Structure 1
């Protein structure tokens, strides 16, 4: 079994370029070009909503070579997959040969998301092109960061987050443990090249797993607290209600500001007892 850590470009690719295929389909096509004898099936650790970005993600797959050839080394596999992906906005950064019981989704110890907010743009067209569709643009010139920190503290820990999942969310245990909710200044991807009075903030959320749209809803209530549209006590009331219908309308943060930053595993889960032998370049 092979595992790969995938880096997805933060620039959105127009639908006409991607067609109907997603990252998983492109990766599976790249694996098929290595001519495995087994059917190709990729299991991804985390799926993102339309409009949400992934700075990195992880996936696992089985790859059996013809004539009992030895497994590809990690470096050769990374190079080969990137060669086959060169026309896509997808890059593989690491590869590991992992135990047969490894699963990219269920072995993940934590997932970290970052939500980007831009302040001071009276219209989204005033954002630098490097940040367009990569943040939530607000006309506010400042936020009440103290209120946001107070609201964030309410969300840390183990809670029933029923109020923070989407109405159409598949049934899952709503009790989640959120390890980190942090608020810190951010920056534009091209800050030094634009002389505009824009301020960026980043909201970071870390947990082993999240409910459907939970992160966007948490980001939305924090921003609402910062804008004075929700009090800290109202945020607590929403959490304590444990009812998705208790979540206010039009408060969830839009998709374009959200990034899956990383998926982390125990180092021992990424170790295989036998080191694979070097082999020929799979592109030939």
Structure 2
């Protein structure tokens, strides 16, 4: 048996999330509408002799994208030797390409059996992308939501907003309050079947870094000039060891509401310092999933290292793992 760490990216628009979901009584164990389910189907083509279970490092919701997510899986080959990791990457990507699926395996590597993709993650970094209509265009009849130009390349990739009072400095000011150790109960959606969320300590989280940086349109050269003329693009970057269910989208939604003066900075302060589902201000809305990207999952390099006794494969294969891991 060998454990494999896979780094992957995907566009989440057409999926109901990364996590597999099975309808009870359906009689089918496959879930082709989730990233995990599609990975399982593709991995079976390697014909491992064991019943395997994919372990996720980070659960992204329906519509959320990933530039870099990770999973680990234990596979046992018929001959007892490890699969060639480059062949695993090639085989999975060939399967996804043939089906027209927006999923790509970035890399596959052998890791010790003691490694766990979720438990050993040091941090996770998300980016939320905003396209803010320039103030001089707000109120123009041509920028009515049904008339407004949106570059097709950005459709379901960026959250476009138009509000004459939007101020990025105000947004950054309220966002920075969220750095550090806080109880984020106000910013957690209730997940069915998760009993841990009722534990008072469960909603305590440390946010290491928040920044809001000017970005650029992902539009092609034919649309970029008009995109830049119409919008200012911003990347909201948030880094922490872990997040609560929908925490990032609820925080961003509250910050946008403050930036547009739909809620006050005092409202934000109370939502953060009086942690309760009842503290959520109804004038704020949860930011849509399609603007959110999981960008990085970090590990301590020592957690990925084998001792000499743990190295799988033949002597020659062991030397390859040591020099390329």
**Count, aligned residues:** 275
Question: Alignment partner for residue 265 of structure 2, among 208, 227, 232?
Answer: 232
- The runs of 4+ residues in structure 1 deviating greater than 4 Å are 275-279
Q: Does 1:43 align with 2:72?
A: no
Could you say which residue in structure 2 is the equivalent of 1:258?
Answer: 292
Q: Does 1:190 align with 2:215?
A: no
Could you say which residue in structure 2 is the equivalent of 1:107?
Answer: 120
SS at match of 1:85: helix
Query: Superposed, which structure 2 residues align to 1:90-129 within 5 Å?
Result: 90-120=103-133, 122-123=144-145, 126-129=149-152
Check conservation: 2:10, 2:102, Cα contact below 8 A.
yes
Structure 1, gaps ≥5 residues long: 280-284
Q: TM-score normalized by structure 1?
A: 0.88
Judged with a 3 Å threshold, the aligned counterparts in structure 2 of structure 1 residues 14 and 94 are, in CA distance, closer, same or farther, namely closer
Q: Kindly indicate whether structure 1 or structure 2 has the higher relative contact order, using CA contacts under 8 Å at least 6 residues apart.
A: 1
Tell me, in whole angstroms, the C-alpha distance in 1 between the residues paired with 2:218 and 2:157.
10
Judged with a 3 Å threshold, the aligned counterparts in structure 2 of structure 1 residues 252 and 244 are, in CA distance, closer, same or farther, namely same
Question: Alignment partner for residue 247 of structure 1, among 280, 285, 293?
Answer: 280
Query: Superposed, which structure 2 residues align to 1:1-284 within 5 Å?
Result: 1-9=3-11, 12-13=13-14, 20-68=32-80, 70-86=81-97, 87=99, 88-120=101-133, 122-123=144-145, 126-140=149-163, 143-168=166-191, 170=194, 171-172=196-197, 173-190=202-219, 192-194=221-223, 195-196=226-227, 197-249=230-282, 250-273=284-307, 274=311, 276=313
Check conservation: 2:42, 2:95, Cα contact below 8 A.
yes
Deviation of 1:67 (Å): 2.7
Q: Deviations over 1:158-180 (max 9, x none)?
A: 00111111145633300000011
Structure 2, gaps ≥5 residues long: 17-30, 134-142, 318-325
Deviation of 1:192 (Å): 3.9
Deviation of 1:98 (Å): 0.8
Q: Deviations over 1:1-49 (max 9, x none)?
A: 1111111136x3489xxx8531111111111111111112111111122
Tell me, in whole angstroms, the C-alpha distance in 1 between the residues paired with 2:291 and 2:95.
30
SS at match of 1:76: helix
Could you say which residue in structure 1 is the equivalent of 2:136?
Answer: none
Q: Which shifted more, 214-223 or 190-199? A: 190-199
Judged with a 3 Å threshold, the aligned counterparts in structure 2 of structure 1 residues 3 and 138 are, in CA distance, closer, same or farther, namely same
Check conservation: 1:119, 1:141, Cα contact below 8 A.
no
SS at match of 2:177: helix
Tell me, in whole angstroms, the C-alpha distance in 1 between the residues paired with 2:144 and 2:179.
33
